[in-house]
Amino acid sequence: MATEYVIVGAGSAGCAMAYRLAEAGRSVTVIEFGGTDAGPFIQMPGALSYPMNMPMYDWGFQTEPEPHLGGRVLATPRGKVIGGSSSINGMVYVRGHARDFDHWSEQGAQGWAYADVLPYFRRMENWHGETGDKSFRGSDGPLHITRGPRSNPLFNAFVEAGRQAGYPVTADYNGQQQEGFGAMEATIWQGTRWSAANAYLKPAIKTGRVKVEKGFARRIVIENGRATGVEIEQRGQVVVIPATREVILAASSINSPKLLLLSGIGPAAHLAEHGIPLVADRPGVGQNLQDHLELYLQFAASQPVTLYKYWNLWGKAMVGAQWLLTRKGIGASNQFEACAFIRSKAGVDYPDIQYHFLPIAVRYDGKAAAEGHGFQTHTGPMRSPSRGSVSLRSGDPKAPPKILFNYMSHEQDWDDFRRCIRLTREIIGQDAFKPYYKSEIQPGVNLQSDDELNGFIREHVESAYHPCGTCRMGRADDRMAVVDPETRVIGVEGLRLADSSIFPRVTNGNLNGPSIMTGEKAADHILGRVPLAPSNQEPWINPNWQTSQR
> Is 103 one of the annotated active-site residues of the chain?
no
Residues 6+ apart with CB under 8 A from 234: 213, 214, 215, 216
Q: CB–CB of 230/83 below 8 Å?
A: no
Alpha helices by DSSP H, 238-386: 252-262, 268-273, 313-326
Q: Report the share of the chain in percent with pLDDT over 90.
A: 95
Q: pLDDT tens, 270-304?
A: 999 999 999 999 999 999 999 999 999 999 999 99
Mean of the per-residue pLDDT values for the chain? 96
Q: What's the whole-number mean pLDDT along residues 382-386? A: 98
Residues 6+ apart with CB under 8 A from 312: none
> What pLDDT score was predicted for residue 473?
98
> What are the boundaries of each domain within the chain?
1-64+74-147+188-251+468-535, 149-183+293-381+408-460
Q: CB–CB of 210/523 below 8 Å?
A: no
> What pLDDT score was predicted for residue 2?
83
Neighbour tally for 395: CB within 10 Å: 13
Q: pLDDT tens, 158-192?
A: 999 999 999 999 999 999 999 999 999 999 999 99
> What pLDDT score was predicted for residue 56?
95
Q: Is 363's pLDDT higher than 90? A: no
Distance, in Å, from the CA atom of 30 to the CA atom of 211, rounded to the nearest integer, reads: 6
Q: What's the whole-number mean pLDDT along residues 63-83? A: 97
Distance, in Å, from the CA atom of 453 to the CA atom of 460, rounded to the nearest integer, reads: 10
Distance, in Å, from the CA atom of 324 to the CA atom of 82, rounded to the nearest integer, reads: 21
Q: Is 368's pLDDT higher than 60? A: no
> What pLDDT score was predicted for residue 28?
98
Q: Is 49's pLDDT higher than 70? A: yes
Question: Which string of DSSP letters, residue by residue, matches 34-48?
Answer: SB---SHHHH-GGGT
> What pLDDT score was predicted for residue 366?
58
Q: What fold, for 1-64+74-147+188-251+468-535?
A: FAD/NAD(P)-binding domain (3.50.50)
Reported as a pLDDT band with limits 50, 70 and 90, residue 1 is: low
> What pLDDT score was predicted for residue 377?
97
The CATH number of 149-183+293-381+408-460 is: 3.30.410.40
Reported as a pLDDT band with limits 50, 70 and 90, residue 264 is: very high
CA 339 to chain centre: 16
Residues 373, 460, 466, 525: which is the catalytic one? 466
Q: Is 365's pLDDT higher than 90? A: no
Q: What's the whole-number mean pLDDT along residues 202-209? A: 98
Of the CA atoms within 13 Å of residue 408, those in its CB half-sphere come to 26
Reported as a pLDDT band with limits 50, 70 and 90, residue 311 is: confident
Distance, in Å, from the CA atom of 4 to the CA atom of 243, rounded to the nearest integer, reads: 5
